[in-house]
Amino acid sequence: MRLVLLLALPLWGCDLPPPVLTEAPAVEAARPAGGARAGAPVTLLGQRFGLRGPQDRVTLGGADVTVESWDDRQLLLRLSRDTPAGVYPFVVRNGPLVSAPFDYEVLPPRDASDANSGFRDTDAGGLTP
């Protein structure tokens, strides 16, 4: 009878590369669901965002969006303050993989004096929040 021994290679001390994604990221939802004003935070929820690498980015209507936090299922973003009101597609790029567009509404400012700040002009001669 022959005895065959299989040797397992020890994994400690070995740097394994991160898993390679083969499916494109998928955006499933955005919060707040009803849209957000320019400059506001937005969270994208989905799958296969992966680990953030140097080529990974999120765009809204073709313009890069500031990414404050990135993990495999959730992205915390900040809309640009100068994004005009309208509906634009979010697209997530993870290396060569690109999500399908996910339409999102950028809401108009509350009023004209609210466009550039969180304050409004009053007849009393001052700014109020």
pLDDT at res. 124: 45
Superfamily of domain covering 26-106: Immunoglobulins (2.60.40.10)
Structure tokens that stand for 19 in this block:
């898993």
For the chain, 129 residues long, give each residue's pLDDT as a single digit of tens.
555 544 455 555 556 555 566 899 999 999 999 999 999 999 999 999 999 999 999 999 999 999 999 999 999 999 999 999 999 999 999 999 999 999 999 999 987 555 554 444 444 444 334
Q: Mark 34-73 as b/e (b = at least 16 C-beta within 10 Å).
A: ebbbbbeebebebebbbeeeeebebbbbeeebebeebeee
Please answer whether residues 86 and 123 qualify as being in contact, where contact means their C-beta atoms are separated by less than 8 angstroms: no
Domain ranges of the chain: 26-106
Vertex 98 angle, CA 92 and 103, to 5°: 50
